[in-house]
Amino acid sequence: MPIRIAVVGSGYVGLVAGACFADLGHEVILVDNDQKKLAALRDGQVPIHEKFLPELLNRHRGQRLTFSDDLKEAARLSSVIFVAVGTPPTERGDADLSYVESVAREISGGVDQYKVIVEKSTVPVYTSEWVRRIILRNGADPETFDVASNPEFLREGTAVTDFLFPDRIVIGCDSARSAEVLREVYAPMTDGSYYLRPESIPQPDRAVIPPPIIVTSTKSAELIKHASNAFLAMKISFINAVASVCESVGADVNQVVNGVGTDSRIGRRFLNPGIGYGGSCFPKDVLAFRAVARECGYDFRLLDEVMRINEDQRQRFLRKIHHALWTLRGKKLAVLGLAFKGGTDDIRESPALHLVESLLQEGSAITAYDPAAMERAREVLGSKIEFASSPYEAAHDADALLILTEWEEFANLDLNQIRKELRYPIVIDGRNLYDPELMAAQGFTYYSVGRAASHPDGVPSGLLRNGKKA
């Protein structure tokens, strides 16, 4: 049965959730107070680079998916209200919940019959209690609503697929009635019927169909989200620390990852070493979880270390660039990748962008290419760097090529052409996209993370010009 749903906030999570709920068959009102964004959405524009999102928006726009700036009215018309507004970090590192609070205040005016108000944004463990209190304080009858938590685990770049084919659905509810409503929302997924529809989004590898639904208390669900992100960030920092040890002793981190990750208790995923994690979630959520724990009386120092290793990883990469090129003033560097990871145009907390800023400070000239994030990067960097229309144009006449984002396109470069374009055949890869031996055989001096540098004919870096001895 279609359910009337309001989704508040048309950011990453809200927009994807709204489009996917519509695809499940529900009637969705997407609410935002940004008029420009609403007009663009109504007009058919898609504000983020996300596979399958344009299809879903096209399919449902103006029919099962409408847009509004009237939160109170949208709440009145809906049985379930998902809150997916931003929870940015404050200066102290905890989450700023003022948007959540003002949404709760406004929703209370529309609570005229039973509704479930669901936290979809990542929020600290006590938020549901506050949301409840705010709605009551603003005059709603306690019998007419429940507050629940339904954390979202989608990743940018694969958001639609992650939403519709999740490993699990977590619903945190403190009443049987609200749990029943949320079970109904996800029924097309949990009973498997959605996946039988001819027009459903293609099934990814590893999909668990139907996905299991885990019902917990509201507080546990809030914690599941913070703990999941903190654990994944810890996994990345852990392997980055192991990569540093590998560099010291001459071991190969990729081999170590294979050996460690095949233990099913550990798992291979999120063990890719690199230049540290970024994005709008891990940095903010690790910090916020650290702050929540402190507030609740637990000193979660492990998370300090996770953050320290992450920062350090960028500095280590910078030192590697120095090691390869000596001084950086006046050097012309080709940068591949500006987004915080492959498959997205998002540059928030992008380790690639942080590195670009550091390289600029040291006086390097940069020409960058990213398949999706150049427009956004231009808004931040302006004319401080040059933008190229292909990896080869970026590499033209550069002293070295830096790979900073794990785009698939960068793992499949025409190495011959890259070598011809570069002034010196030096590649410094922050994402371990290539095999060191293969790169040496192709005539490159190649640096990566947690693996020994490789040189053509074993000749150390910088002594070759276009693959030939200078």
Q: Which residue has the tokens 């058919």?
A: 44
282 binds ligand UGA (CB under 6 A): yes
Smallest separation, CB 224 to ligand UGA (Å): 11
Q: Which of 281, 333, 347, 464 binds ligand UGA (CB under 6 A)?
A: 281
170 binds ligand UGA (CB under 6 A): no
Neighbours of 135 (CB within 10 A): 24
Smallest separation, CB 20 to ligand UGA (Å): 14
Stretch that binds ligand UGA, among 107-115, 266-274, 360-368, 379-387 (CB under 6 A): 266-274
Of 381, 458, 460, 461, the C-alpha closest to 422 is 461
270 binds ligand UGA (CB under 6 A): yes
Neighbours of 208 (CB within 10 A): 10
Stretch that binds ligand UGA, among 29-37, 274-282, 322-330, 414-422 (CB under 6 A): 274-282
* Longest pairwise C-alpha distance within the chain: 81
Give whole-number Cα distances, 422 to 223, 370, 443, in Å: 49, 18, 12
153 binds ligand UGA (CB under 6 A): yes
Nearest to ligand UGA of 158, 193 (CB atom): 158
Binding letters toward ligand UGA, positions 105-144, x by CB under 6 A: -----------------x----------------------
Strands 65-68 and 80-83 come out as unpaired
Nearest to ligand UGA of 111, 374 (CB atom): 374
Nearest to ligand UGA of 156, 421 (CB atom): 156
- Neighbouring-strand partners of residue 105: none
Stretch that binds ligand UGA, among 104-112, 265-273, 314-322, 462-470 (CB under 6 A): 265-273
Spatial neighbors of 223 by CB under 8 A, at least 6 apart, are: 125
- Cis, bond preceding 88 (omega within 30 deg of 0): no
Q: Which of 53, 154, 433, 449 binds ligand UGA (CB under 6 A)?
A: 154
155 binds ligand UGA (CB under 6 A): yes
Of the residues 20, 246, 281, 296, only one is catalytic, namely 281
Q: What's the alpha-carbon Rg for the chain, to the nearest Å? A: 24
Q: Which of 9, 278, 337, 450 binds ligand UGA (CB under 6 A)?
A: 278
Nearest to ligand UGA of 114, 270 (CB atom): 270
272 binds ligand UGA (CB under 6 A): yes
Q: Which of 27, 152, 222, 247 binds ligand UGA (CB under 6 A)?
A: 152
> How large is the angle between the packed helices 218-249 and 301-325, nearest 10 degrees?
40
Q: What are phi and psi of 233, to 5 degrees?
A: -65, -40
Stretch that binds ligand UGA, among 102-110, 214-222, 264-272, 458-466 (CB under 6 A): 264-272
Stretch that binds ligand UGA, among 35-43, 172-180, 199-207, 275-283 (CB under 6 A): 275-283
Q: Which of 124, 274, 425, 443 binds ligand UGA (CB under 6 A)?
A: 274
Q: Is 332 strand, coil or helix?
A: strand
Nearest to ligand UGA of 130, 153 (CB atom): 153
- Neighbouring-strand partners of residue 88: none
219 binds ligand UGA (CB under 6 A): no
Smallest separation, CB 238 to ligand UGA (Å): 10
Alpha-carbon distance of 408 to 39, in angstroms, equals 33
246 carries an active-site annotation: no
Q: Is 428 strand, coil or helix?
A: strand
Helix H or strand E segment including 248: helix 218-249
Q: Which of residues 305-344 bind ligand UGA (CB under 6 A)?
A: 340-341
Q: What are phi and psi of 309, to 5 degrees?
A: -60, -40
Retrieve residue 200's tokens: 């459903």
Residue 433 contacts residue 410 (beta carbons within 8 Å): yes
Smallest separation, CB 88 to ligand UGA (Å): 13
Neighbours of 319 (CB within 10 A): 10
**What is the edge-to-edge ordering of all strands in the sheet holding 145-149?**
65-68, 27-31, 4-8, 80-83, 115-119, 145-149, 169-172, 213-216
Neighbours of 109 (CB within 10 A): 16
Stretch that binds ligand UGA, among 276-284, 296-304, 315-323, 434-442 (CB under 6 A): 276-284
Binders of ligand UGA: how many residues, by CB under 6 A? 20
Binding letters toward ligand UGA, positions 224-243, x by CB under 6 A: -----x--x---x-------
Smallest separation, CB 340 to ligand UGA (Å): 5
Helix H or strand E segment including 104: helix 98-108
The site for ligand UGA (CB under 6 A) is made up of 122, 152-156, 229, 232, 236, 270-272, 274, 277-279, 281-282, 340-341
Active site amino acids: 281
